[in-house]
Amino acid sequence: MARRTRRPDTSAPDLFDVEERIVEVDVQDEMEGAFLEYAYSVIYSRALPDARDGLKPVQRRILYSMHELGLRPDRAHVKCSRVVGEVMGKYHPHGDTAIYDAMVRMAQPFTMRLPLVDGHGNFGSLDDGPAASRYTEARMAPAALLMTASLDEDTVDFVPNYDEQLTQPGVLPAAFPNLLVNGATGIAVGMATNMPPHNLVEVIGAARHLIAHPEADLDALMRFVPGPDLPLGGRIVGLDGIREAYETGRGSFRTRASARIENVTARKKGIVVTELPYLVGAEKVIEKVKQLVQSKKLQGISDIIDLTDRTKGLQLVIEIKTGFNPEAVLEQLYKLTPMEESFGINNVALVDGQPRTLGLRELLQVYVDFRTDVVRRRTEHRLGKKKDRLHLVEGLLVAILDIDEVIQLIRSSDDARIAKERLIQVFDLSQVQADYILELQLRRLTKFSRIELEAERDELQREIERLETILADEQLLLRVVSEELAELAVQHGTPRRTVLLESAGGPGMSSAATLAAGKTPLDLEVADDACWVLLSSTGLVARTTTDDDLGTGGRRKKHDLITATVRTTARGEVGVVTSAGRVLRLSVLELPTLPPTAEAPSLSGGAPLTAYLDLPPDERALTLCTLDGQGPGLALGTRQGVVKRVNPDYPGNRSEFEVIGLKDGDTVVGAVELATGEESLVFITSDAQLLHYSAELVRPQGRAGSGVAGVKLAPGATAVSFTAVDPEAENVVVTVAGSAGAPPGTENGSVKVTDMWAYPSKGRATGGVRCHRFVRGEDALVLAWAGAAPARAASGNGVAVELPETGDKRDGSGTPAPAPIAALG
């Protein structure tokens, strides 16, 4: 390396007689040396934990400063800024932000399995940072006392601080395996560490087993430590990576949220998330789910709600759209969102000042060796203290036996030095014993004090013998270490929180893993299978799971009066025909599904049609129809006696459309989707007239047509029912008479059931024949229906009402109804 010296010009005046030297250094050598010094500093003094106490230097200095300040768990909290200032000024000459961040992490229960700092105030969450150090307070947690216990008993070496004015411990005594229990994370230069937390009881069990069986293999230790135990629970899927990490120090595993599928409303299912993966916050999951839904990469989710609070804990509700498989949606959530995360284990820690990658057995062995050394040094320290005390007690006993002579000797001495020398010569005492006797208080010179001293001497001799026995027997020393660990596990241990799963075996398994396991991947959406859509008299709508023929047997149930049925597919659409002559599209996929049943289907599990369609108060749904444009189409009858057959040329791009042009004041009273076009159309009027004729007599019209005359009405009469029946089937006519001013379902009235064959067929637009004779108090038919037997009736709330026996007298009067009837079908 060349050097060149340049002297200043002596001719010019120089106020500072300084010799300037410029040293030329090779840039590559300088960069290599500087980088190596920086890397070593980061590795050893900043980023990597010590394998013995599991702490980084900043964490160790924080705990030691709190120990020195006396911030014990039974004392008041102090401002975090005070602790940060103490650490920064005495031991850690770095930024206050770095110190406070390390302190916050040690206080967060969702980060550490056994927090070392007891925080008071806002120490942040998985989604938000903590408050400033001037607002928060802290003190040592009970676990921190275990880390600093016996620190004053020469258990560890002390080293100078950064300015060599103070000393600090190079490592804390660590009464429990902190590195395994709380884990660690850090990024150094050219290396990093990432260790998950574990359960205290399990780790101590493995350490004790290793103490008792030094040759124990990994399988034996994993019987105690089967896997990590994360602070907030969750699930770990796949144990192969954990075993690899325990064996080599490197591996990975998947952490999965804990979720269950339940009904969030009467007709909607949802996924309730109660635990999330390690260090994953709810806001992160919500943001990712919303992003995927907006980009259409995730389907089947209608809403996501965060119901987390202090009493219930984490509760994230993800509502599933009707028609989507909740298990399949959960599988997609695990695959696409942070609800399932991979955790890479990299067990890098400092051993004798050098970074090493350690497996489970090596980590436990390093701790056991360190803890054994701590207990040995503590025992030696206590033995020395006991011997020193015994030495003083023995000197006191000698002085008390000749107390008068001792007093006379001290009084006759000119000064303390002479008194000390005479005591040593006369009573054969050591200098320490002589000094202690000279400092003795007169009140100790009693007979009772002698008894106390003799008892103390005997106790000290027994304690010294015990301590010497421990130091002389390595197995006894290890037994002390093991017993202390066992006691600590009882006092501070908690049950396991994380569930370990050998494999996914269900939602969340990747496609490759699913096929490898011989399982069929779940379909995200409901298959487009054939089904039935049902409409009840109370306005409930639902769909079945199969296209089997609907049963008609079984006991009658609430809401089992089905007024309309239509065969379709689960992902298809049906039309809802209203009294205003409109057809509204209804998605079958959104409808609730009825469970399979061998009895007559019940719509008690259905949903109100008004939840899907917005109908005006004066408009009601009459029936359901298909929208495939096939078949003879719809037949409609109006209040003013108009009939119309509609060509099924329904528009495919409109959510609603008209199927009849109504006159002012007219409404549709009945609509039927024809099956063959050869059915009989049946009108029943308010003045008890019934007319039926073949549908072939009505020419189909377009959707804008107004229909043709269907029944001839008497003055003041209206049509109350319009249906279509199969002329070859067994049909009945049900009529309910009452007061014209009373709405159906408000009074009992009289009801009559008649065979359909009793009514002769007549031409279109004629007056028909009488079907019900009114008695006193009755002036009109309020309800009527014609259709296939058996007929059924229901009250306004859907409860079944029994009908009388079927008769063949078409113009007879009815029998009193047992309850108000609101619907027939």
Q: Which residues are catalytic, by number?
A: 135
Taking the CB of residue 742, how many other CB atoms lie within 10 A of it? 13
Task: Please tell me whether the peptide bond between 790 and the residue prior to it is cis, using omega within 30 degrees of 0.
Answer: yes
Spatial strand order of the sheet with 235-237 comes to: 184-187, 192-195, 340-346, 250-256, 235-237, 499-501
- Contact between 752 and 807 under an 8 Å Cβ cutoff? The reply is yes
Tell which residue, 203, 491, 243, 158, has the closest CA to residue 368: 203
Tell which residue, 538, 536, 562, 537, has the closest CA to residue 550: 562
Tell which residue, 582, 564, 583, 581, has the closest CA to residue 573: 583
Determine the angle formed by the axes of helices 96-107 and 57-69, rounding to 10 degrees.
Answer: 80
Round to whole Å and give the CA distance between 698 and 532. Answer: 29
Round to whole Å and give the CA distance between 479 and 326. Answer: 54
Assigned token pair, 322: 């009707």
| 3 state SS of 818 | coil
Round to whole Å and give the CA distance between 796 and 518. Answer: 52
In 3-state terms the chain splits into helix, strand, coil percentages (rounded to 5) of: 30, 25, 45
Residues in the chain, total: 825
311-321: burial string, b at 16+ Cβ within 10 Å, e else: eeebebebbbb
Backbone angles phi, psi at 237, to 5 degrees: -110, 125
Round to whole Å and give the CA distance between 817 and 734. Answer: 12
Round to whole Å and give the CA distance between 464 and 387. Answer: 7
Tell which residue, 398, 382, 404, 380, has the closest CA to residue 436: 398
